[in-house]
Amino acid sequence: MPTSTHPTIDTVQAEYFNSVTYRDPLHPAVSAYADPKIEYIQKHMPIEGKILDVGCGNGIFTLRLARKGANVIGLDFSQLLLSQNPHPELTRGDATALPFADGAFECVFEANVLHHMQDREAVIREMARTSRRYVVLLEPNRYNPLMFGLSLVVREEIGVLKSSLTRLRAELSRSGLRTLAHSTTGMISQNNTPLALVPWLKRFDREIWWGEYIVLIAEKAPVPPAVS
């Protein structure tokens, strides 16, 4: 039987992330995108202890979590992006097989990873396994017109079509996690929003169902006491 010459989505994604160029983590538009998400997370859970940043890329959230006082380790499979991440504690690895022990982190965080993965729930299960308590997801919202359009024209972003609050909450639940808080918000993209538009777009840093991004904070369900 002939082997298909078409690359799998994993191959496509690997090629993309080994050639992509991102804005600096401290670029003003990046700050306008990321800082409100960090503030929202901090309202609902402490940013402290050991935190794993899965798919850390060039450090947009790695640096911000560390600046809040957490002991952060960043993980990514792209050596190119890791080389652009200024955080000192980084490792190369696979989000579907995290190289850490069960419960190694107080919180396991990811931003814009799941919609690039074939097996999204494998990533969430690994995040839950390596977390003692919290799991945080930050993903695009398929109901945002800009994100929906992007997913149709950029093949690496096609996974956005599967990215919705309802689906993400169900995936968390199937991985033994309960959602503590969630928000659909924002109209600023870290790499695509022109800096001149940032002051005007900041007005959308609030709860809007068609916002660009979904933020979910989940907690591991407590283990029931053993019956004697």
pLDDT exceeds cutoff 90 at 155 = no
Name residue 34's amino acid.
A
For range 69-78, the mean pLDDT: 97
What does the H/E/C string look like for 176-208? CEEEEEEEEECCCCCCCCCHHHHHHHHHHCCEC
Query: According to the model, what pLDDT value does residue 202 have?
Result: 97
Q: Is 21 exposed, middle or buried (0-12, 13-18, 19+ CB in 10 A)?
A: exposed
Which neighbouring-strand residues pair with 179? 218
**Long-range contacts for 167-173 (Cβ within 8 Å, ≥24 apart)?**
168/114, 168/137, 168/139, 168/214, 168/216, 169/216, 171/120, 171/121, 171/124, 172/124, 172/135, 172/137, 172/216, 172/218
pLDDT exceeds cutoff 70 at 223 = no
Query: According to the model, what pLDDT value does residue 8 have?
Result: 42
The larger pLDDT score, comparing residue 151 to residue 92, is at: 92
224 band by pLDDT with thresholds 50, 70 and 90: low
For range 125-136, the mean pLDDT: 98
Query: According to the model, what pLDDT value does residue 226 have?
Result: 60
Phi and psi at residue 75, in whole multiples of 5°?
A: -130, 135
Do β-strands 131-140 and 177-185 pair in parallel, antiparallel, or remain unpaired?
A: unpaired
Query: According to the model, what pLDDT value does residue 221 have?
Result: 79
- Average pLDDT, whole number, for the chain? 91
Set out the domains of the chain in order of their start, with CATH numbers: 20-139+163-219 (3.40.50.150)
For range 143-169, the mean pLDDT: 92
Residues 23-71 pLDDT 10s = 999 999 999 999 999 999 999 999 999 999 999 999 999 999 999 999 9
Which neighbouring-strand residues pair with 177? 220
Query: According to the model, what pLDDT value does residue 20 have?
Result: 72
Query: According to the model, what pLDDT value does residue 22 have?
Result: 87
Question: Is the pTM here over 0.85, yes or no?
Answer: yes
Q: Is 192 exposed, middle or buried (0-12, 13-18, 19+ CB in 10 A)?
A: exposed
